[in-house]
Amino acid sequence: MGFVRFLLALSVVSFHSDNLTNFRFFHQSLAVVSFFIISGFYMSLVLDTKYRPLKKRYKTFITNRFLRIYPLYFVVLFLTVGSSIIKYFFHIGTPDNAITHYLFFLPQTTHEGLETINFIFRNLTLLLTTDYFSVGSRGPGFLIIQQAWSLQIELLFYLIVPFLFYMKKKFLVILSILYLLLFFGYFHLYHHMEQPTLTYRFFEYFVFFLLGIGSYYLYKKMHKLSIPPIYHKIISGITIVYIVLYTILPHSSPAHIYDMTTFPYYLFLTLAIPSIFIISKKSAIDAFIGGISYPLFVSHIFFIKLFQNISFISPSVSFLAAILVAIIGSILLMLFIENPLDTFRDKLFQKEKSSLKKRS
């Protein structure tokens, strides 16, 4: 699964580099949606196989997930703000940075003082914000790390997925049907929710997490069957080719995530994830490559902006250099921040697990 996640992250990088070059593969919106489907699968997997026996499983799960997201986010946030301050006050490179984005964004708001407070809390916590109810601009000044909107959706899913997964299947099915009918059959269809709110955006993408949960239940069924490994290899290979060659396929630029042309891809990925996981779950190389995906996703715009300020480099060279440096930087972030944090998270889990054995 790691190589697929890396390809998806790379497609987002290529999209945000489009002012350096017109090269792009896959579709950035579908890549983010794919991450949500994969997340639904992985969260179901760890809740079922790792956290189920724990007495404080919700607390342990949320703590570990927050430790997965926030520390690296704060590092990139610090680098972005620091570089923006240097650029702004010393007039280095182009004026395009987080400070000028914010100064342009603020006058568009109704209450500047309240929005400043909301802006600070939004960027520091991602979750503590008035954006659940109020409609704000979705421009570059909204979030300092622009792609962090997807982390907001991801974190909200973490808060509720234990309740969803541990409920009886029939209740989950009923709840899913009610959600689909209410949101898409009423709120979305008749515009009864203001679309830019964080609440609307969460429910807009929630269906993809449900697909991931469904994909995990499919994996459990497949895992009990004697399916030849060649089948999983073929499915995995087709998935990679599908992603790499997506832009040359007919209707490869959907108008939105619910464009009818995107449904075959969502269905295919949901069905393919179990095979991809089965064939790659024991591969250390695949795990290493997959480990780069989150650091690359959260940090790539920082590295791209650095190269946008080097005017004497041609756009094509700048594009390749930005991607190369972003990958190298992401590897360093993984090795020196992600991996130590993973060790710490595992210690927390083992501590909770050992306390459970003592109580029993």
Model confidence pLDDT, tens digit, residues 16-31:
776 555 556 678 889 9
The b/e string for 305-314 (b: 16+ C-beta within 10 A; e otherwise) is: bbbbeeeebe
By CB atoms closer than 10 A (0-12, 13-18, 19+), residue 351 is exposed
Place of tokens 């703590």: 63
Place of tokens 């610090």: 78
- What pLDDT, on a 0 to 100 scale, did the predictor assign at position 41? 98
What letter represents residue 218's amino acid? L
Mark the ranges of the chain whose per-residue pLDDT is less than 70: 18-25, 93-112, 135-141, 190-195, 251-255, 309-318, 356-360
**Which of 28, 33, 39 is closest to 1 using CA atoms?**
39
The b/e string for 188-215 (b: 16+ C-beta within 10 A; e otherwise) is: beeeebeeebbebbbbbbbbbbbbbbbb
Q: Which two tokens stand for residue 116?
A: 């400043």
- Side-chain-facing half-sphere of 343: CA atoms under 13 Å: 6
- What pLDDT, on a 0 to 100 scale, did the predictor assign at position 221? 93
DSSP string, 40-54: HHHHHHHIIIIITT-
pTM (two decimals):
0.92
Q: Which two tokens stand for residue 257?
A: 């995530």
Cα 344 from chain centroid (whole Å):
22
- Domain map of the chain by residue range? 2-347
CA–CA separation, 130 and 128 (whole Å): 7
Look up residue 185 and give its DSSP letter: I
The b/e string for 260-286 (b: 16+ C-beta within 10 A; e otherwise) is: eebeebbeebbbbbbbbbbbbeeeeeb
- What pLDDT, on a 0 to 100 scale, did the predictor assign at position 15? 81
